Structure 1
């Protein structure tokens, strides 16, 4: 009778307790959030990330969020992330994928990214904050497109090549005066013009159907057509009122350019989900 072999025991690498080891300053540097921020994010998706059992030393929800933030913040190779935090490289990869999907479910996105149509007090508040920037009245958002680099898709590959000759998704984004994101449309190939994205978006309908009252408007660059709800700069301004208008327009609209720049510097890996919010 053959001798029965014992089942080999699995060895699990020690996992660091980053939230206890590092100060808030060090957490901000590595993960872009302090401990309170990391716990807030974890609580949003804890139920989706928890393992149904305690077998095989499951990775905690906090650890999954930390690995995902580290990857998004630095673009660091997953093997290095594994070396830093403890879990194996496949576990890191699976955890990042699971966490990204949990963070980008529609109901969670709409909790934080929504345009305040029909909320007159919110529109008035936002317009007041914009007016403090350069005296421009009635502004409830500054709009622009930004390109998120992607791997060349198998289908319709040429449509994703943008004017700078790399593959991307052209993402429409709107900020308020406090750099909060009010609107995102992330589904158009990189070759699509900014004006086309707005024309096909629900945001345009909010203004044209008067769900945003007349007198409120967006500011966009000269790549957009001038509309009653979308003000663009004069291409050849005359000295005086037109030049003053352009100056106030530029100072106010710079918020969207700075906001996009800050977002990309803070998170070197831009994960996009094909949705319109």
Structure 2
């Protein structure tokens, strides 16, 4: 065999042929391969004539340099062969996909629906029709999750306050899938919230609300009931103390104004839990409109967390007769 062919076979060993043999070879193969490399690349060539000694010496140095990566591969294979566990880990196959049974609204009674989702079946169906363009997938390929299942999962999560993993296992999702559905459904609900959460700014709307308050509770000139509630959150690290409320947990202090039937008319959800209720009301929004006289003689009813003003009535702290107590 000529030196050129020997160099070509050495290069083939360096570029992938040798590792494939070593991965499936035992200790004997490694020794045989080492002998092959030493025989072809590292042993001294036969005697040469004087006129070609210089050229042949250069060829030998090139072959030794080519054999150096092969020697590293041999050393690695020798370590594998002599290790305590010489077996090679088999190639892992892809885990087959498993599709769980997803939740169906018809599988619940009316009482169970109210208990798990805090809404009736008709309300859930109406809400789905409002946001289905935002949460439904355009394809049914790969067992795509339908919009109804997404909505039920998010409503159950919001109603129970449980962990995402627990909710996802009940609905038939994985936790990462439920996390994506949660953001998608919540954004869709926020986008349509202005269609339902509207304060009665016009005179005709306020007159209708005042009439309902008077017919139901006997309170004249009233257009809303105001209070704040704390929604627990994980606070930002930079402003952690400002989110700690008087009950010693981190929250947002959310202000709500409701109508005579309990319908939410206005929401302010941008103040940390350490903020007082009166400060939330004095910010930009409904409070400033009342202070400027925009609503005339109309009134709000609040609790003792607010101070008494000409447009905000609070209960008596220590009533002395039945008439003030009845108010």
TM range (shorter): 0.7 to 0.9
Q: What is the CA–CA distance in structure 1 between the aligned matches of 2:223 and 2:114, rounded to whole Å?
A: 31
Distance 1:223 1:81 in 2: 36
Q: 2:159, 2:137 → 1: CA distance? A: 25
Distance change >3 Å, CA 77–CA 224, structure 1 → 2: closer
Match of 2:324 in 1: 245
Equivalent residue, structure 2, for 1:172: 255
Partner of residue 66, structure 1:
152
Q: CA deviation at 1:229?
A: 1.4
1:177-223 Cα shifts (integer Å, max 9, x gaps): 111111110010111111111111310233234432x2211012233
Q: Give the match for residue 270 of structure 1.
A: none
User: Structure 1: how far apart are the matches of 2:165 and 2:241?
Assistant: 33
Deviation of the 1:236 alpha carbon? 5.0
Question: In the alignment, is residue 189 of structure 1 matched against residue 189 of structure 2?
Answer: no
Q: Which residue of 1 aligns with 2:40?
A: none
CA distance in 2 between partners of 1:224 and 1:80 (Å): 39
Mapping of residues 125-274 of structure 1, within 5 Å: 125-212=208-295, 214-237=296-319, 239=320, 244-248=323-327
Stretches of structure 1 that go unaligned for 5 or more consecutive residues are 249-277
Distance 1:34 1:134 in 2: 26
Distance 1:16 1:191 in 2: 41
The whole-number CA distance in structure 1 between the counterparts of 2:226 and 2:164 is 34
* Closer, same or farther: CA 136–158 of 1 in aligned 2, 3 Å: same
Deviations 1:63-93 (A, max 9, x none): 1001101111222333333333322222122
Indicate conservation of the 8 Å contact 1:138/1:215, yes or no. Answer: yes
Change (3 A) 1:233 1:203: same
Judged with a 3 Å threshold, the aligned counterparts in structure 2 of structure 1 residues 233 and 74 are, in CA distance, closer, same or farther, namely closer
Does the residue aligned with 1:82 lie in a helix, a strand or coil? helix
The 1-side partners of 2:316 and 2:171 are apart by 53
Aligned residue pairs, count = 238
Bigger mean CA offset, 70-79 vs 148-157: 70-79
1:149-169 CA distance string (max 9 Å, x none): 111321211111111221111
Q: Which residue does the alignment assign to 1:113? A: 197
The corresponding residue for 1:87 is 173
RMSD of aligned C-alpha atoms? 2.5
> Separation in 2 of the partners of 1:246 and 1:206?
29
How much has 1:11 moved relative to structure 2? 2.0
The separation in 2 between residues aligned to 1:165 and 1:191, in whole angstroms, is 9
Alpha-carbon distance change, 114 to 196 in structure 1, aligned in 2, over 3 angstroms: same
- Runs of at least 5 residues in structure 2 that lack an aligned partner in the other structure: 1-19, 21-90
Return the offset for 1:10.
4.9
Q: Which protein has greater RCO, CA pairs closer than 8 Å, 6+ apart?
A: 1
Q: Give the number of the structure whose alpha-carbon radius of gyration is greater.
A: 2
With over 3 angstroms needed to count, the CA separation of the structure-2 counterparts of 1:225 and 1:26, relative to structure 1, is closer
- Give 2:142's aligned residue: 56
Determine the C-alpha separation between the residues in 2 that align with 1:165 and 1:14.
40
